[in-house]
Amino acid sequence: MTMLTGARERWVRTGGVELCVAELGDPRRPTVLLVHGYPDSKEVWSEVAARLADRFHVVLYDVRGHGRSTAPQPLRGGFTLEKLTDDFLAVADLVSPDRPVHLVGHDWGSVQAWEFVTVERTEGRIASFTSMSGPSLDHFGHWINKRLTSPTPRRVGQLLGQGARSWYVYLLQLPVLPELAWRGPLGRLWPRILERAEKVPAGDYPTASLRSDAAHGAWLYRDNVRPRLRRPRTDAHAHVPVQLITPLGDAYLSEKLYDELEQWVPRLTRRTLPAGHWIPRTRPEQLCTWISDFVSCVENGRTEVAATGRHADRFGGQLVLVTGAGSGIGRATALAFAEAGARVIAVDRDAESAARTAQLALRSGAPGAWAETVDVSDAQAMEKLADKVAAEHGVVDVLVNNAGIGLSGSFFDTTPEEWHKVIDVNLMGVVHGCRLFGKRMAERGQGGHIVNVASAAAYLPTRALPAYGTSKAAVLMLSECLRAELAGKNIGVTAICPGFVNTNITATARFAGVGPEEEKRLQKRAARLYGMRNYPPEKVARAILKAVERNDAVVPVSVEARGARLISRLSPGLLRSIARLRPPV
């Protein structure tokens, strides 16, 4: 039974086997051909295929010996890469005889697809290749040889690390035992293992053919791994544009395997994803975005995706939500993620400003950008926003809690109402964002990142900013606590501490204990001083993207922020003395 609702099934005979082929979408559109891995059948792609079918002619087939396709007889020698290439060509000729196909492979589907895109006889039949979680055995063989013949401590460490990850490959070389395990307890427990270890949602996957698929598929390893690793081809150069998607949490394959890939692939687009191995099941939305963008670029005569910014390989296609995105650091951050190809949700209490940021994000390269209006201090409004985002866009990959307000004035001049306002926005707004969006990240089980914009005032005491500094110090401590709690769920938390940044927060900051005219004078003075410092919010935005990529804990951004952070650690008494100084008026 297939999970591919609405699919049209066809059969093709090749090399003594019959392959079950499923098609979705309009055959007149570009063909995207999805090749599954081990121990899967074509249904592993069901979530991805259903989403791609709106734009493309989507084709899936059960690899020989898997799903509804028949197995070769005898099994030994029936799964070589040469025979798998014959199968691919037979399917391609059936579903797209006049146009090359866009190939997508996962796990062993990617391993065999590397063969397809590097052998001469397939030239002209493939338009592009998207690879995930499966290297070329030829490239892998050369990677190993380089580390054996020219060892360095780093290369030896990489070799030993990948050797440990490949434990299952050794076991699958054993006779009979893998088949017995799969047809017995392992086959029964596999769905639960996927759910717990890989966070694959429970449901109608894997299919009922799992046990025979896994038993037959063991010959993929036996027929190919040792021969190719011992004698890798020297002409294994890709003759099509390649998009490499690397899950950073892959328990079986190190990202270091692809360090020298450019020498084999002249037209390469790299993507990284904080997720586990089975991304066709856990991250179908992200994969659809990347596959669609890449296929569309190639169809339009380009070999690179539209977003080619510095961090495009890390954030392209990811869903990023930024609060306080209507101006300043928030807008700069939203646009920086947009330049990296992320889908951006710009949130601000000013609807017009949020909409403008979303427009600019689209112009900057975001494949999608939306504006939302909300007051982050309103818990119920934030809950509605979180529900809406989850329903319409999915789980947020990166959350930037940036919204904040400024308040200056002495402690005794600051009213309880002003205290409440600052705490509600600067602290509780962050709490609401972390609680509502962070919880969904944790439940998804595929990682993510939370950025909380604090301030150098979090560790720089001053008599001029008791309420503001207290709220930002609380944000810093919240971030540290949350980072510890979410570390086990592969969710990073970063506190960003800018210094004197030239944004409009100075022009809109409140001043306690003064009249309207004096407040306006102080606002203009603060804006003038920050303007003289002229530290742009774009530098803070770049620091945010870098911090997420590196999973930094606390990032003081400007020189003064870094200096104050250092003094707070080395000589806190000096900071206390400076804090006593009366600010100029």
Q: Spell out where 298-405 has E strands.
A: 319-323, 343-348, 369-373, 398-401
Q: What's 370's DSSP letter?
A: E
The vertex-497 CA angle with 496 and 498, nearest 5°, equals 110
Phi, psi of 318 (to 5 degrees): -75, 155
DSSP annotation of 202 reads: P
Question: What does the longest C-alpha to C-alpha distance in the chain come to?
Answer: 91
In whole angstroms, give the CA distance from residue 246 to residue 426: 36
Contact present, 440 and 532 (Cβ < 8 Å):
no
Q: What 3-state DSSP class applies to 532?
A: helix
Tokens (6 digits) for 371: 């504006």
User: 287 near 50, Cβ under 8 Å?
Assistant: no
CB 245 within 8 A of CB 287: yes
- Note whether 343 and 369 are within 8 A (CB): yes
Smallest Cα–Cα separation from 103: which of 111, 113, 115, 89?
113
Q: Is 221 a catalytic residue?
A: no
Contact 5, 25 (CB under 8 A): no
Determine the straight-line distance between the first and last CA of the chain, rounded to whole angstroms.
77
Residues 6+ apart with CB under 8 A from 559: 499
Question: In whole angstroms, what is the distance from residue 470 CA to residue 473 CA?
Answer: 5
Tell me the three state secondary structure of residue 323.
Answer: strand
Residues 6 or more apart whose CB falls under 8 angstroms from that of 485 comprise none
Written as one letter, the residue type at 195 is E
Strand partners, 495: 452, 554
175 prior amide bond cis, ω within 30: no
Block residue for tokens 């540290």: 480
495 φ/ψ sector (left φ>0, alpha ψ -120 to 50, else beta): beta
- How many whole angstroms separate alpha carbon 472 and alpha carbon 465? 10
Q: Which is catalytic among the residues 258, 468, 530, 535?
A: 468
Q: What number of other Cβ atoms are within 10 A of residue 80's Cβ?
A: 18
Task: Report residue 456 as tokens.
Answer: 């150098």
Q: For strands 8-14 and 17-24, give the pairing.
A: antiparallel
Q: If DSSP codes are grouped into helix, strand and coil, which group holds residue 385? A: helix
Active site residues: 468
